[in-house]
Structure 1
Amino acid sequence: MTDFTVEERAARPWVGVSTTGELAHWGRVNAHVPTIYAALAEAGGIPLGGPIYQYRRLRTATEPMDLTVSVPVSACMEIGDGFETGEIPAGRYLVARPEGGPDILDRVHAEMWTWAGEHGLDLAIDERADGIHWHARTEQFLTDPESEPDRSKWAIEVTYLLR
């Protein structure tokens, strides 16, 4: 079982690319990561950590989902055409920091939903006909895959904004 905490967080600025992707073709989503880091470097920006996947709309894991692939920065900044800037909102978050890389994320998310329900926490979501719309749901990779090639040792931070 994964350990969970509830944390109060400040807004987190980011630069990135919004896209629609599906797990079966996740390489297309991941292809944005080096492009964002390169554009950020060219614009003189400094990344404040690993990439953050911000999930905005999801129906099922097998269907396309709307998300933003982003990189945290100290302040919102423009880095060129095709890139966006914004903030992950401030607020109370349910947080997990498991090790195991992307292979464990399905289990972690299921455990988080269960744990939130058991502890009376209300996830900040809107359920609509086209799926669940998240106010803020993120996965940030804390381990650099170039320095640790073993995916089972990758640390990830998973967060859900609470109402």
Structure 2
Amino acid sequence: MTTFTVEDRAERPWVGVSMTAELAHWDRVNAHVPRIYGALAAAGGIPQGGPIYQYRRLRTAADPMDVTVSVPVPACVELGDGFGTGVLPAGRYLVARPEGGPDALERTHRDMWEWAGVQGLDLAVDERADGIHWHARTEQFLTDPQSEPDRSKWAVEVAYLLR
């Protein structure tokens, strides 16, 4: 069972690429990770951890979703065409660090949503006709896949901004 915590966090600057994507073509999303790190290195920027996937709009797992693939940085740095910058907002976050790597994420998200409801936590979302719009919903990969090829051993952190 995954443990959930509520944490106060400062804002976190990032650089990245935003897109609309489908799970069936997630390889296209993942392809941006080395591009971002490469552009950041070329600009003299220093990453502050593993890649963060920011889910901005979701309906169902089968529908296209708006996502930003980003890398945390100490301060925003312009990388040029095709790259954006921003900050994850400061605030209270519901956080989970599930065991099982990416394969545990679907269950973790379902359990977090249910746990938040039971605890009376108000997730920072807006429900609209085109899906759920998240103020901040992230998955940050904490393990370098080149140093640990076994996906089940990857450390991942899931965080939802609370109102």
Give the TM-score normalised by the residue count of structure 1.
Answer: 0.99
Provide the C-alpha distance between the structure 1 equivalents of 2:5 and 2:74, rounded to a whole number of angstroms: 24
Alignment of 1:1-163 (within 5 A): 1-163=1-163
Counterpart amino acid of residue 147 in structure 1: S
Partner SS, residue 117 of structure 1: helix
Provide the C-alpha distance between the structure 2 equivalents of 1:107 and 1:82, rounded to a whole number of angstroms: 33
Unaligned runs of 5+ residues in structure 1 are: none
Provide the C-alpha distance between the structure 2 equivalents of 1:27 and 1:13, rounded to a whole number of angstroms: 25
Partner SS, residue 6 of structure 2: strand
Structure 1 residues 6-35: Cα deviation after superposition (integer angstroms, max 9, x where no partner): 000000000000011111110000000000
Q: Which moved more, 1:125-134 or 1:99-108?
A: 99-108
Provide the C-alpha distance between the structure 2 equivalents of 1:27 and 1:21, rounded to a whole number of angstroms: 10
Residue 99 (structure 1) shift = 2.3
Provide the C-alpha distance between the structure 2 equivalents of 1:150 and 1:101, rounded to a whole number of angstroms: 9
Structure 1 residues 73-127: Cα deviation after superposition (integer angstroms, max 9, x where no partner): 0001101111001000000000001121211100000010111011000000000
Unaligned runs of 5+ residues in structure 2 are: none
Counterpart amino acid of residue 41 in structure 2: A
Contact 2:2 2:99 in 1 (8 A): no
RMSD: 0.5
